[in-house]
Amino acid sequence: MLFLKAENIAVEVNGNVLFENASIEVREGDHIALIGKNGIGKTTLINCLIGNQHITKGKIKNQLKPQEWGWMKQDATIHEQLTTREFVELENPILSRLKEQLKNAERMLSESPDDEKAMAVYNNCLQRYMDSNGFEWEAVVEKHLGQLGISAELWTISFENLSGGQKTRAKLARAMLNNPKILVLDEPTNHLDVESMEWLAEWINQFKGAVLFISHDRAFIDQVAGTTYELTENGTTKYDGGYSSYQLQKEHDQKTQLALYQKQESEKKKLLESISSYRQWFKKAHDAAGARDPFAKKKANKNMTRFKAKEMALERLENNRVDKPKESPKLNVELEGHGFSSRMMVTFSDVCFSFSKERQLFESISFSIERGDRIAVVGRNGSGKTTLLNLITGQLMPDEGKVLQHPRLRVGYFMQELEGLDPTLTVLDQVLELPSMTQSEARTILACFLFRGDAVYKRISDLSMGERCRVAFVKLYFSEANLLVLDEPTNYLDIETRERIEDALSLYPGAVVTVSHDPYMLGKVANRVVALSEGEFIDYRGSYSEWKSHRQIPNDEQQIQNEQERLQLQLANLLTEEISDDVDIQARYQERIKDLKARISELEQT
């Protein structure tokens, strides 16, 4: 069943065309991903489909009633004191208001049980609430809260105090109250840990209705989408499957278009050469022909016919012309690591840290960050990932143990750069604050980070989070750091910019420690994984893909043998390392050798 069909939509904002020729179809059971650059108008397009915003051109055929849409918005603006249940109930503002009035009437009556006026107000509120099926509605709210895994003890907790995953569940419960036929999700995976993202993907895949969602999370799109639409300023393009399929199809389409463009250019060149030749022959024949020389005249006319035929062929070619595939602006960046010859950069020795006596985040952890490491820090929200980054950078000091930094270490901290942006400055002024930076150099480097033309005069306070992230990366570019510490560096970036950042990090000559919930990024960048879980600290020396496989592998003989070989290779590499004279580093080195030998011996006995 066709729920929605939009054809050739165009939207103008302040007289400027945001996008045009956008078309999309949504049928029952469809799972559709909408992707595109930040600021291209993805949320605007959804508002147009729902009927919340006017279109400039095109037409929309919407078969659904407004209440048959469920929209889980990216950011919900709510009162700080609103409980989780109250937040969900706000989906129906009329019943929410009636319920609040009934609660106030109950309170007044309990304070003055003999007051006839208070009794009359209470009876009136109760009757109105019952007439509106308020108690049945409350049962529906409780049902959806329970179905989405929000236990009763969370209902009275402030919505703001929920974890990212719990907030997503509450938003879903709110969006599902009217049993929508189309569920719309705007960046649903923002601030979710991997476990919560996997739960959300599974839940969506079991949802019977249609789903239309905006996302920059490539792994999530692969898990959920049956169709992917890309929105550009020139319209939408439909691709079957998720992000991986989109990549393959788009690459194939671009190659096909380029081959056709090159073929047409070759044909055009030949036609122009033929036209030029026939024009010259016609002129010579015409000049030679006289009124009494019919043979020369006939020859001239023959060249004229050929000349006109070639001109018509050229006209047909131009009318069916295929444009050369346009490459969208790339983030042209190569991060340079400041010279660093030593192997060890940061060493943790028996580090303990806690924010309270009740909860110990780290207990006696010991590990080192070495030159060339690209460490992915993974774990649930609240497991201590950002705390670990702050211990690495020296923003926090351990309760016990030591965190030793090499004297020549220079750290570039993405979160610190992001928070340190001056909202009153323009993008250009922010960069001109860097030492020895000239206006020309600043404009050049900002263009590499996609700030072109008048965009460099935008104030930091007026930038989107994605644009602020790019400014922060400009500052990292000039930091001459040999260790980059990144806390969710791609959270607000569109897919194209994420991929450029990943390319830069893959080529970065220093070390990188990053917290991210983006499996695509971690798979491309990380060569080591630090996993935090329930007070457990796991240092896995292998890629993120190997780590994922390692978590899921059953302990059969072949897999045990593979793990043995991997550990033996680590041990061999470790024994060839040059070791510092520092006593603590030597002790840590011996401890690592002892640990590897013990793990190999344990596997041999399995």
- pLDDT tens for each residue of 457-482: 999 999 888 889 889 888 887 777 88
What SS3 class is residue 489? Answer: coil
The answer on pLDDT for 301 being more than 70 is: no
- What are the structure tokens assigned to 405, written together? 């930094």
Q: pLDDT tier at 80 (50, 70, 90 boundaries)? A: low
DSSP β-bridge partners for residue 71: 184
- Judged by average pLDDT, the poorest of 63-67, 301-305, 318-322 is 301-305
163 contacts: CB under 8 Å, gap ≥ 6: 381, 382
The string of pLDDT tens digits covering residues 82-111 is 899 999 999 899 999 999 999 999 999 888
The string of pLDDT tens digits covering residues 249-293 is 988 888 887 788 778 778 777 777 777 776 666 666 666 655 455
Say which amino acid occupies 429: D
273 contacts: CB under 8 Å, gap ≥ 6: none
Q: pLDDT tier at 553 (50, 70, 90 boundaries)? A: low
Q: pLDDT tier at 589 (50, 70, 90 boundaries)? A: confident
C-alpha distances (whole Å) from 298 to each of 305, 312, 362 are 11, 21, 98
Q: pLDDT tier at 351 (50, 70, 90 boundaries)? A: very high
The answer on pLDDT for 36 being more than 90 is: yes
Q: What is the pTM of this model?
A: 0.74
Residue 593 pLDDT: 78
Q: Which residue has the higher pLDDT, 526 or 268?
A: 526
What is the bridge-based pairing of β-strands 344-356 and 359-370? antiparallel
The answer on pLDDT for 570 being more than 60 is: yes
Q: Residue 408's closest CA among 476, 481, 458, 359?
A: 481
Q: pLDDT tier at 322 (50, 70, 90 boundaries)? A: low
Sign of CA dihedral 188, 194, 199, 205: positive
Residue whose structure tokens are 């009359």 = 120
The answer on pLDDT for 576 being more than 90 is: no
- Tell me what percent of the residues of the chain surpass a pLDDT of 70: 84
- What are the structure tokens assigned to 528, written together? 């080591």
- Judged by average pLDDT, the poorest of 18-27, 52-61, 95-104, 286-295 is 286-295
Range 343-362 average pLDDT: 86
- What are the structure tokens assigned to 573, written together? 């590499």
Residue 72 pLDDT: 87
Rounded CA Rg of the chain? 32
Q: Which residue has the higher pLDDT, 282 or 156?
A: 156
Residue 470 pLDDT: 87
- Judged by average pLDDT, the poorest of 14-18, 83-87, 280-284, 357-361 is 280-284
CA 162, CA 170: separation in Å to the nearest integer?
9
| Number of neighbours of residue 297 by Cβ within 10 angstroms | 16
DSSP β-bridge partners for residue 459: 426
Residue 334 pLDDT: 58
Q: pLDDT tier at 332 (50, 70, 90 boundaries)? A: low
Say which amino acid occupies 80: E
Taking a C-beta distance cutoff of 8 angstroms, is the pair 443, 493 a contact?
no
Residue 294 pLDDT: 61
The answer on pLDDT for 209 being more than 80 is: yes
Q: Residue 544's closest CA among 534, 531, 560, 558?
A: 531
273: left (phi over 0), alpha (psi -120 to 50) or beta: alpha
For the chain, report the end-to-end CA distance as a whole number of angstroms.
56
The answer on pLDDT for 557 being more than 60 is: no
Range 188-198 average pLDDT: 83
CA 496, CA 466: separation in Å to the nearest integer?
12
Taking a C-beta distance cutoff of 8 angstroms, is the pair 63, 2 a contact?
yes
Strand 57-62's sheet: what is its strand order?
Answer: 16-27, 2-13, 57-62
Q: Residue 217's closest CA among 249, 251, 242?
A: 242
CA 33, CA 224: separation in Å to the nearest integer?
8
- What are the structure tokens assigned to 443, written together? 């404009």
Q: Which residue has the higher pLDDT, 606 or 598?
A: 598
Taking a C-beta distance cutoff of 8 angstroms, is the pair 84, 150 a contact?
yes
Residue whose structure tokens are 């840990």 = 193
Residue whose structure tokens are 């060149």 = 269
Strand locations in 150-199 (E) = 182-186
Residue whose structure tokens are 């020309």 = 440
Range 217-241 average pLDDT: 95
- Judged by average pLDDT, the poorest of 122-126, 211-215, 552-556 is 552-556
Say which amino acid occupies 348: F
Residue 79 pLDDT: 61
The answer on pLDDT for 429 being more than 70 is: yes
CA 229, CA 239: separation in Å to the nearest integer?
6
